[in-house]
Amino acid sequence: MGVKDLDQLPARILRLRLRLMRYASKIEYIPGSRNHVADALSRAPSGLPSRIDVMLVEELEASTSIISSINPMIEEIKEAQQLDAVCQEV
């Protein structure tokens, strides 16, 4: 991970190095011209969304609406628990 002895490092860097030592990692430099994945992830999408993108958005919207409809039920449950004698003992 480096060439400095651990006792020569600042305390903050030493703590970070000690945390990272438990992981087996390999850091490899890839020039930007060869790193296509990072390049693709950092760019804004171009063109129309794919069918999968549309399906994911629809699924996310459906999940969000389900959570919104459950929210009043959660409040009712909280109120019922506050009034319940057994829950008060716990």
pLDDT score recorded for residue 72:
75
Domain layout of the chain by residue ranges = 6-89
pLDDT score recorded for residue 12:
92
pLDDT in tens, the chain (90 residues): 566 777 788 999 888 888 888 888 888 888 878 877 776 667 777 778 888 888 888 888 887 777 767 777 777 877 888 888 887 776
CA dist., res. 81 & res. 75, Å (int): 10
pLDDT score recorded for residue 90:
64
Contact in structure between 17 and 1 (CB atoms under 8 Å): yes
pLDDT score recorded for residue 23:
87
